[in-house]
Amino acid sequence: MLSGVGRLALITRSLSATAIAQELMIPGKFSQFNLNVETENKKAEAWIDGVKENVSSAIGKRTTTLQLAFQYLDWFHLQLAQDELATNVNVTLPIYKTVTVPATPFKITDADISSAGIASSVKAYVTDRGSWGEAGYLVAESGTLAAREFEADHTDTSITFHSGLAGASVTYVVDKAFTSIPSIGKAPDAIKIGEVSFIGKGYGPEFPNGVFIHIPSLTRSGSPSLQTDDVPTFEIPFDCNVASGYRTPVQYYRLP
């Protein structure tokens, strides 16, 4: 019997023609390895003593699929899940922040509020009910502030709140520019991981040196799903293809 698998890895097959200019080994920390085979039978029938019976059958179609899943997540596993290598980009992102409105002068400083355009991007929200009223959004204003209003000012990189908000917990977003940071999904010309091969090792009492599992050609059959259970799990479906020089999609080898 097979008691488990290990030493699972993917090897790229099409990155050498991209800017990467080489193939990569991806030793994924996979938590699931499900190899499924679905068949469609063809059947010949004939009437026998008043009953139509099968007199011959054969497998007319066979589809082999592989589903890999992982719970461990680092930056490279996230790239694998999205089928795309990260590319450095310049981008402006809305950054989420939380503050408590201080007493006089009811002002906080934020070095990210560095231009008039950025100041106008600030959006604020009171998170809890209190003496200032119900939780809810605040209105951006300039000059004299009324209840539940705030002013973002780039000249001194600050946000000033109405005095009635003293002690309130406020969340806000402010645009921040980043230069040359790794991104998945932003660059116009993505480097797709694309076709891969799979290797793994099966373990069991009858196989002291293991069974080598080889799938020479895998292509994605769908987008990854994220199962947000106790431990979030990424699941990636693949089609197993018959590669040139092979008779079946999957090969097994008894290691000496």
In this predicted model, what pLDDT tens digit does every residue of 57-75 receive, in sequence order? 888 889 999 999 998 989 9
Structural domain tally of the chain? 2
CA distance 29 to 69: 9
Q: What secondary structure does DSSP assign to 33-75, as a single string?
A: EEEEEEEEEEEEEEEETTEEEEEEEEEEEEEEEEEEEES---H
Q: How far is CA 108 from CA 55, 170, 231, in A?
A: 84, 11, 38
pLDDT for residue 220 is more than 90: yes
- Specify the CATH number for the domain of residue 78: 2.30.110
How confident is the model over 88-108, as a mean pLDDT?
96
Q: What angle do CA 77, 81, 87 make, to 5 degrees?
A: 75
d(C-alpha 196, C-alpha 191), whole Å: 14
Residue type, 89: V
Does residue 3 have a pLDDT over 90? no
Which positions ≥6 away from 6 have C-beta within 8 Å?
200, 201, 203
18 and 79 fall within a common domain: yes
Same domain, 160 and 203: no
Q: Is 201 strand, coil or helix?
A: strand
Same domain, 176 and 196: no
**With 90 as the cut, is the pLDDT of residue 177 above it?**
yes
Cα–Cα distance measured from residue 196 to residue 217, given in angstroms and rounded to the nearest whole number? 6
Helix (DSSP H) and strand (DSSP E) numbers for the chain: 2, 19
Q: Check if the beta carbon of residue 12 is closer than 8 Å to that of residue 23.
A: yes
Which band of pLDDT confidence, cut at 50, 70 and 90, is reported for residue 118?
A: very high
pLDDT at 154: 96
Residue that finishes a domain, picked among 148, 183, 218: 183
| 198 plus 173 within the same structural domain | no
Q: Which domain holds residue 34?
A: 4-45+54-86+189-254
- State mean pLDDT over 105-109: 96
80 with 200, same domain? yes
Same domain, 114 and 37: no
For residues 23 and 2, what is the distance between their CA atoms, to the nearest angstrom?
31
Q: Which residues contact 74 (CB under 8 A, 6 or more apart)?
A: none
Q: Which two tokens stand for residue 87?
A: 């590319």
Last residue of a domain, one of 183, 211, 228: 183
39 and 58 together in one domain: yes
Residues 41 and 109 in one domain: no
> Which of residues 168, 183, 198 is at a domain's end?
183
Check whether residue 171 and residue 237 sit in a common domain: no
Q: Are residues 27 and 101 in the same domain?
A: no
- Note whether 110 and 223 are same-domain residues: no
- For residues 203 and 143, state if they share a domain: no
Rounded to whole angstroms, the Cα distance separating 124 from 111 reads 17
Of residues 126 and 19, the one with the higher pLDDT is: 126
What is the value of pTM for the model shown?
A: 0.78
